[in-house]
Amino acid sequence: MATLTFAKAITLGLRAALADDDKALIMGEDVGRLGGVFRVTDGLQAEFGEHRVVDTPLAESGIVGTAIGLALRGYRPVCEIQFDGFVFPAFDQITTQLSKMHYRSRGRLRVPVVIRIPFGGGIGAVEHHSESPEALFAHTAGLRVVSPSTPQDAYDMIRAAVASPDPVIFFEPKGRYWSKGEVDLDAAPAAGILDTARVARPGTDVTIVAYGPTVATALKAADALAGEGTAAEVVDLRAISPLDVPAVVASVRRTGHCVVVHEAPSAHGVGAEVAARVTEEAFHHLEAPVIRVGGFHAPYPVAKLEHDYLPSVERVLDAVDRSLAY
Amino acid sequence: MSGDGTGEAGLVQLLDPDGARVATTENAAYRGRVATLTGDDLRGLYRDMALTRRFDDEATALQRQGELALFAQATGQEAAQVGSARALAPQDYVFPSYREHGVMQVRGVDPVDRLRLFRGQDHGGWDPAEHNVHLYTLVIGSHALHATGYAMGVQRDGLVGTGDAALDTAVVVYFGDGATAQGDVNEALVFAAVNNTPQVFFLQNNQWAISEPTTRQARVPLADRGPGFGIPSVRVDGNDVLACYAVTLEALERAHSGGGPTLIEAFTYRMGAHTTSDDPTRYRSREEEAYWRRRDPIDRLAALLRAEGEWDEAWAAGVEAEAEALGERLRVEVRALGAPPTSAMFEHVYATAHATVEHDRAWQAEYEQAMQDDDATLTEATR
């Protein structure tokens, strides 16, 4: 057991993946000598060489497009997109090519590409550096979309992502990069870790569904609720696509109340999908409508306003209060 | 005459439009590359071009009869495609756009399989590993990056510059004049140049990107893009099958030996529409079409064969019979291609099981069963 930052846990996960499979390689802007702008790939080029940890031209579509070609040739590229808002030049390659290659070849071609994207806000960055585009990818069949919320899951999930025969969009909550947690580097990862939600905190009165950066927010809210005598259950989705509907529904059937929390805008988002599936499958167990806590239908605001945009503990508590008051 | 400002200057040409061999000081090296082609080789080139033309004609007719949703003809571009593809080694890998029927002919991709996509029966149609030909790509230029990444993989596999002709491997990507405006093609040139990939960028400048002339894509000859990226480039008469063969052979030699990528601009013309959906009379002149019809690549090679005493009537009748048989096969077998089962839409979305797909698959199956049960009940009730 080691105490590691979230970022370091991913570094060690990538290191293990490179050591496990000599077809795996890391590619992206500044991932080599600099170790990435968040230092997530720090030290990997020194250890594995320029051939395995590749500094690419400054072209996101080029990074993903050539990764597809490498994957077709039998390699396992792990692409780093420097910031969430910079994934859009590669959006075409991801949605029209990467996601569909296996399907349109009727399974003859495999493209095991991982795309790591530091996402989300709360670090006081300038525009295009704090976005949450996960719903755009989750809406695209053929992609697996995941986001870890703890250093242990980050370590396990990045290894599972690299080993996956499917393309994986790996959203790293950049605001959590420096948070620390215990990581067992030797334990076998939970089976199906890219497909299954986990109960981050058990409870009986209300289900709070979250993933990535908002799991910490939900847990803080649950702490506060415990002080008021309310036992909140926090479900960490881990996987956004596929959504672990049975896990969420099982929780809501126990609690009768559901609040979904994410940083991305609520409209047309992952929370809407969760709400719809819970309504379809647990309608008679619900004692209140599913309530969403998320970003607004506005571009990610300037850093000086992001504290009003991001789901806060207070906004989660307000949502829980509204649910319980029904 | 192309109606644009990029002109025909500096084209490598080994056969003039009348089919006479062209000997200049500049093309001496290229002439050397075709000097070894025998009469059989030349007749082989003719056959591939003739069958490609017939494939086009039959597929166009099938589209007109409602048997295909769409078709994109290669008519007029046979020399560029057949000449370049004939230069490839078996282990080389091709990334086509969606009009490379002549390349498919040379690589042996089954003609019926080539039409599955256009019939709406399959998104691909053939096994890329069987012919070393990737699937057709409809998003313009996106496959240039796949080709570059694939070539980077070939490089990593150590299959460049081994000196063994059976091992050294190159990747050829085919794209059009319109694609040169796409970011992905430009990014592919960047990645190829800095990685020195074993690659040939084979650009067929057929003068028109649907209704837009090349002047809407560029103000200079498209081959001029190459040097800016550090990639040697050559312009070739795309209706001259020998010149296309020779320049591709040279580029492949560079790629195989570790010399890096080459950009080839084959200056050619699509005689038909962009696809069966557009009407070229709305955007180009009869004079222009007539000009290019006189430069037909198949007629040009036929003239050479006749002039050099290599035209054989019995052989020509054999090619014609083969074309007839191809037409007949397409007419029968394309019509016989059924729809896949509904469940096929849920297959291969992922390589591993995905809960959302399974949910939708189960729902659809249940729905279909319920409909069948209802029908059965109705039939029972009305009996």
Question: What residues in A contact B351, CB-CB < 8 Å?
Answer: 102, 107, 110, 112, 165-166
Please name the residue of chain B whose CA is at the shortest distance from the CA of residue A100.
B349
Kindly state the tokens that stand for B20.
């006479």
B152 and chain A in contact, CB less than 8 A:
yes
Average pLDDT over residues B112-134: 97
- Give the pLDDT confidence of A272-297 residue by residue, as tens digits: 999 999 999 999 999 999 999 999 99
Q: For A227-240, what is the mean pLDDT?
A: 98
Interface test with chain A among B354, B358, B359, B360, by most A beta carbons within 10 Å: B354
Q: Can you give the pTM of this predicted structure?
A: 0.96
Find, in chain A, the residue whose alpha carbon is nearest to that of B153.
A70
Q: For chain B, what percent of residues have pLDDT higher than 70?
A: 98
Give the A window 46-65 contacts with B, CB below 8 Å: 51, 56-57, 59, 61-62, 64-65
**Can you name the residues that pair with B176 across neighbouring β-strands?**
B204
**pLDDT score, position B1:** 46
Partners of B129 on chain A (C-beta within 8 Å) are 108
- The average pLDDT across B352-369 equals 96
Region of residue B321 (phi > 0: left; psi between -120 and 50: alpha; otherwise: beta): alpha
Residues 154-193 (B) with a CB less than 8 A from some CB of A: 154, 156-157, 183-184, 187-188, 190-191
Distance from the Cα of B94 to chain A's closest Cα (Å) equals 12
Task: Determine whether the interchain pair A100/B123 forms a contact, defined as Cβ–Cβ distance below 8 Å.
Answer: yes
**What are the phi and psi torsion angles at B123 (to 5°)?**
-85, -10
pLDDT in tens, A163-207: 999 999 999 999 999 999 999 999 887 789 999 999 999 999 999
The Cα–Cα gap between B298 and B81 comes to 12
Which chain A residues contact residue B135 at CB under 8 A?
104-105, 109
Note the pLDDT of residue A98. 98
The answer to whether B89 and B172 have CB atoms below 8 angstroms apart is no
Contact A137, A145 (CB under 8 A): yes
β-strand pairing of A144-146 with A239-241 = antiparallel
Is the pLDDT confidence value at A127 over 50?
A: yes
Q: B355 CA to chain A: closest CA distance, Å?
A: 6
Residues of chain B contacting residue A196, judged by C-beta atoms under 8 Å apart = none
Above 70 in pLDDT, residue A326? yes
CB A23 within 8 A of CB A41: no
B289 exposure class (CB count in 10 Å sphere: 0-12, 13-18, 19+): middle
Q: Do B147 and A59 touch (CB under 8 A)?
A: no
Instruction: Kindly determine whether residue A68 and residue B357, on different chains, have CB atoms separated by under 8 Å.
Output: no
For residue B53, give how far its alpha carbon lies from the nearest alpha carbon of chain A (Å): 27
Do B153 and A144 lie within an 8 Å CB cutoff?
A: no
Q: What percent of chain B has pLDDT over 90?
A: 93
Q: Is the pLDDT of residue B3 over 60?
A: no
The encoded tokens of residue A254 equal 């126990």
> Is residue A244 within 8 angstroms of chain B, CB to CB?
yes
Chosen for mutation from B97, B190, B350 (greatest number of chain A CBs closer than 10 Å) is B350
pLDDT one-digit tens code per residue, B214-237: 999 999 999 999 999 999 999 999
Residues 99-128 of A with CB under 8 A from B: 100, 102-110, 112
Among partner residues B139, B148, B359, which is closest to A96 by beta-carbon distance?
A: B139
ipTM of the complex: 0.96
Identity of the residue in B129, B139, B190 whose CB atom sits nearest the CB atom of A97: B139
Beta-strand relationship, B262-267 and A258-265: unpaired
The answer to whether A275 contacts chain B (CB < 8 Å) is no
Count CB atoms within 10 A of the CB of residue B313. Answer: 7
Among the partner residues B135, B153, B349, nearest to A73 by beta-carbon distance: B153
Note whether B134 contacts A242, CB cutoff 8 Å.
no
- A140 at B interface, C-beta within 8 A: no
- Is A276 at the interface with chain B, CB within 8 A? no
Rounded to the nearest angstrom, the minimum Cα separation between B313 and chain A is 42
Q: Can you give the pLDDT at residue B156?
A: 98
Of the candidates A62, A96, A106, the beta carbon closest to that of B187 is on A62
**Chain A / chain B CB contacts < 8 angstroms:** 145
B146 close to A (CB below 8 A): yes
The mean of the pLDDT values for chain B is 95
Q: Which of these is catalytic: A51, A102, A128, A129?
A: A129
What's the full length of chain A, in residues? 326
Candidates A282, A280, A237; CA nearest to A255 is A282
pLDDT of B375 reads 84
The pLDDT of residue B2 is above 50? no
B355 touches chain A (CB under 8 A): yes
Q: Do A97 and B347 touch (CB under 8 A)?
A: no
- Residue A148 in this model has a pLDDT that exceeds 80: yes
Output the pLDDT for position B5. 36
User: Rounded to whole angstroms, how far apart are CA atoms A70 and B58?
Assistant: 37
Instruction: Return the DSSP state at A93.
Output: I
Q: What is the pLDDT of residue B6?
A: 63
Give me the residue from B127, B145, B355 closest to A69, CB to CB: B145
Tell me the pLDDT tens digit for each residue of B128-171: 999 999 999 999 999 999 999 999 999 999 999 999 999 999 99
What's residue B4's pLDDT?
52
What distance in Å separates residue A314's CA from the closest CA in chain B?
Answer: 33
Q: For B248-267, write each residue's pLDDT tens digit.
A: 999 999 999 999 999 999 99
Query: Which residues of chain B have a CB within 8 Å of the CB of A72?
Result: 134, 146, 149-150, 153
Whole-angstrom distance, CA of residue B131 vs CA of residue B152: 20
Q: Is B345 on the interface with A (CB under 8 A)?
A: no
Within 8 A of A105 by CB-CB distance, chain B residues are: 123-124, 128, 135, 348
d(CA A313, CA A306): 14
Q: Residue for token digits 């002709």?
A: B165
Residue-level pLDDT at B7: 80
For residue A79, name the pLDDT band (cuts at 50, 70, 90).
very high
What does the pLDDT average to over A14-24?
Answer: 97
Q: What is the mean pLDDT of residues B307-311?
A: 97
pLDDT at B377 over 90: no
Residue B125 contacts residue B135 (beta carbons within 8 Å) = yes
- Token pair, residue B93, equals 């890998």
DSSP output for A139-198: TSTT-EEE---SHHHHHHHHHHHHH-SS-EEEEEEGGGTT-EEEE-SSSPPPTTTTT--E
Question: Measuring CA to CA, which residue among B62, B149, B76, B134 is closest to residue B104?
Answer: B134
Q: Is A301 on the interface with B (CB under 8 A)?
A: no
Tokens describing residue B277: 């959906």
Q: Look up tokens 């050559």; give the residue.
A: B234
Q: How far apart are CA A321 and CA B305, in angstroms?
A: 88
Give yes or no for A245 touching B (CB within 8 A): yes
Residues of B classed as catalytic: 270, 274, 283
